[in-house]
Structure 1
Amino acid sequence: MNRFFRIIKKVVLYTLAILLLLSVTGYVYLYVLPKGPEITATRKINAGTDSFVIHAYKESERKSIRVWTYKPETWNDKDKIVFVMHGGGRNADDYLNAWIDLANENNLLIIAPEFENKFSKYTTNDYQEGNLFTFFGSKNPKTEWAYTVVENIFDHIKSVNNITNEQYDIFGHSAGGQFVHRMVMLMPESRIGTAIAANSGFYSLPNENLAFPYGIKNTATDLQKSYKKRMIVLLGELDNDPSLGTFRTTDLAMEQGAHRLERGTTFFNANKELVDKNNWEFNWTIDTVKNTGHNYKKMSESAIKWINTAPNNGNK
Structure 2
Amino acid sequence: MVALKSGLKIRKLAATLLLLGSSCIALELHTDPAVAVDPVDAVCSNRMTLSVTGNLKVPYCSNKILDQPDLSVQRAVIVIHGTSRNADDYYQYMEDAAKKAGKLDGTIILAPQFLREEDIESRNPGNDVLFWTNDGWKEGDSSLSTSSNPRPAQVSSYDVVNFMMAKLANRNVFPNLQTIVIAGHSAGGQFTNRFAAGSQEPIVESTVIPMRYIVANPSSYLYMDEKRRVAGTVDKFAIPTAQEKSNCPNYNEYKYGLEKLNSYMQNIGVNKIRSQYAQRQVVYLLGEQDTDPNADSLDKDCPAMLQGKQRFERGTIFYNYLQQYYGSTIQGNHTKVTVPGVAHSGRDMFNSDQGIQQIFGSSPNHHLNHPTQPTYPTSTSNS
Q: Does the alignment reach a TM-score above 0.5?
A: yes
Percent of pairs with identical residues: 28
The answer on 1:130 being equivalent to 2:125 is: no
Deviations 1:226-272 (A, max 9, x none): 11111001110000113435111111111111111111112222222
Residue among 331, 356, 376 paired with 1:304:
356
**Residues of 2 paired with 1:262 and 1:192: CA distance?**
30
CA deviations 1:50-99 (Å, max 9, x no partner) are 842133x4323374210110249xx8445101001001100000111112
SS in 2 for 1:204: coil
Aligned with 2:89 (options 87, 94, 110): 94
Q: Residue 213 of structure 1 is aligned with which of 255, 258, 265?
A: 255
Residue of structure 2 aligned with 1:162, choices 158, 173, 184: 173
Aligned counterpart, 2:219:
201
Aligned to 2:160: 149
Question: Deviation at 1:160?
Answer: 10
Amino acid at match of 1:195: Y
Aligned counterpart, 1:3: none
Aligned partners of 2:143 and 2:89: how far apart in 1?
28
Aligned partner of 1:272 among 318, 323, 331: 323
CA contact 1:205–1:216 (8 Å) conserved in 2: yes
Deviations 1:122-145 (A, max 9, x none): 94442111116989xxxxxxx822
| TM score, norm. by length of structure 2 | 0.59
Q: Which has the larger radius of gyration?
A: 1
Indicate the RMSD between aligned Cα atoms, in angstroms: 3.3
Q: State whether residues 170 and 196 of structure 1, in contact with CA within 8 Å, keep that contact through their aligned partners in structure 2.
A: yes
Aligned to 2:103: 106
| CA distances 1:252-304 after superposition (whole Å, capped 9, x unpaired) | 11111111111111222222211118x77851011111100001011112322
Q: Distance in 2 between matches of 1:297 and 1:215?
A: 29
SS of the aligned residue for 2:77 comes to: strand
Determine the structure 1 residue equivalent to 2:63: 70
Number of equivalent positions: 255
Contact 1:227–1:281 under 8 Å retained in 2: no
Relative distance call for 1:276 and 1:132 in structure 2 (3 A) is farther
Q: Paired residue for 1:16?
A: none
1:68 is paired with a residue whose SS is: strand
Contact 2:143 2:157 in 1 (8 A): no
Deviations 1:89-130 (A, max 9, x none): 00000111112232232232111001111469x944421111
What one-letter code is carried by the residue in structure 2 that aligns with 1:65? V
Amino acid at match of 1:145: S
Amino acid at match of 1:110: I
Cα contact 1:125–1:133 (8 A) shared by 2: no
Which residue identity does 1:214 align to in structure 2? Answer: Y
2:161 is aligned with what amino acid? V
- In 2, the alpha carbon distance for the partners of 1:133 and 1:115 equals 9
Letter in 2 for 1:106: K
3-state SS, counterpart of residue 241 of structure 1: coil
One-letter amino acid of the structure 2 residue matched with residue 288 of structure 1: T
Q: In 2 relative to 1, CA 192–84 (structure 1 residues): closer, same or farther, beyond 3 Å?
A: farther
What is the TM-score when the length of structure 1 is the normalising length? 0.70
Task: Measure the CA separation in 1 of the matches of 2:315 and 2:283.
Answer: 11
Q: Which amino acid aligns with 2:213?
A: A
Answering whether residue 46 of structure 2 is matched by residue 52 of structure 1, we say yes
Gap regions ≥5 residues in structure 1 = 1-49, 136-142
How do 1:240-279 and structure 2 match up within 5 A?
240-276=291-327
C-alpha separation in 2, matches of 1:207 and 1:58: 36
CA distance in 2, matches of 1:125, 1:306: 27
SS of 1:128's equivalent? helix
Query: Secondary structure at 1:112's aligned position in 2?
Result: strand
Larger mean Cα displacement after TM superposition, 123-132 or 89-98: 123-132
